Amino acid sequence: MTQSNIQPTYTEQVEMLRLMQTIRRFEERASADFLSGDIYGVVHCYIGEEAVAVGVCSALTRRDQIISTHRGHGHCIAKGADLNRMMAELYGREGGYCKGKGGSMHIADFDIGMLGANGIVAGGLSIITGAGLAAQMRGGDDVAVCFFGDGASNAGPFHESINIAAQWKLPVIYVCENNLWAVNTPASATVALPDVAARAAGYGIPGIIVDGNDVLAVAEAAHVAVERARSGQGPTLIECKTYRHRRHTEKATQPDLRPQAEIDKWIADDPIPRHIATLQRDGLDDATLAQLNAEVEASIAASVEFAKASPFPTLASALDDVFAD
């Protein structure tokens, strides 16, 4: 696969940091408020994987479409979702994206090309393949991107979707966020090959492995895949090696069977400090970094205020938006 000639500017790299910090702070607040009882349902934190969503979405336009997973807050934020409406949805309030009825795993915003998070493992693969087909039929150069985990790569929709996308040269990028564990089952126990990307050879498409904790490396791979898709050459499978810092969900009773030494090793390779170090070598000073962090904190605080000020949906509205008029 050829290298992209698109190198993010310093300003664009700072914006990547802002987005990664926003995702991190949003998830930390979502976790805290879930554990305090202010957020209902379940929360799957994206902490540790921020570089994947931000790197991939840096290669996309507003018109390009993405689909997410049960761990989807980071994808939403990276694609440009409104923090207030996101937090309100987690709080189960009318001001949320789904009017408080969808919760953490079902946030969607068609206006920014976010087709939705999905609580079903591998559920987004066939949907985004259809979106890629629609983009091809419309003409133009829009692309569609699917985020999914290593566990989803063993499900039928993974193989069916990539096979038809390869045959029809659909403008789809399949992004495997391989965080090494499906709940408490290691990927090494369920995937016969060490790399999910190796499966791309069976469909005659590029399979790229990238350091998922390096936002610039992810962005580079994404730009190459997007350019390929826009030019009619078909899909690419990108495997981002990354790691979630938290247990599968934020439930206090959720067991975590991962070795502590492994967790510590990956936390030491946190994608945010890595990117900060890169920016500091290029001139980012402490004052600018402090201002960026303060702005991010303020935006998260404002989203919580918005959520708490929004009313709960009424019983009378329970069936609204369920059936077509």
Classify domain 10-311 at the CATH superfamily level.
Thiamin diphosphate (ThDP)-binding fold, Pyr/PP domains (3.40.50.970)
Q: Round the average pLDDT of the chain to a whole number and report it.
A: 96
Q: Does 6 or 185 have the greater pLDDT score?
A: 185
- pTM as predicted: 0.95
Collapsing DSSP states into helix, strand and coil, what is residue 237? Answer: strand
Cα 154 to Cα 160: distance, rounded to the nearest angstrom? 11
Computed from CA positions of residues 291, 292, 293, 295, in that sequence, does the dihedral angle turn out positive or negative?
A: positive
pLDDT at 323: 86
Computed from CA positions of residues 310, 315, 320, 323, in that sequence, does the dihedral angle turn out positive or negative?
A: positive
pLDDT at 316: 92
Contact status, residue 59 vs residue 47, Cβ threshold 8 Å: no
Cα 290 to Cα 297: distance, rounded to the nearest angstrom? 11
pLDDT at 246: 96
At 5, the pLDDT band (50, 70, 90 cuts) reads low
Q: Is the pLDDT of residue 297 over 60?
A: yes
% residues pLDDT > 70 (the chain): 98
Domain locations in the chain?
A: 10-311
Contact status, residue 97 vs residue 107, Cβ threshold 8 Å: yes
Q: Is the pLDDT of residue 111 over 60?
A: yes
> Residue 72 CA to chain centroid, in angstroms?
5
Q: Is the pLDDT of residue 68 over 70?
A: yes
pLDDT tens for each residue of 207-262: 999 999 999 999 999 999 999 999 999 999 999 999 999 999 999 888 999 999 99
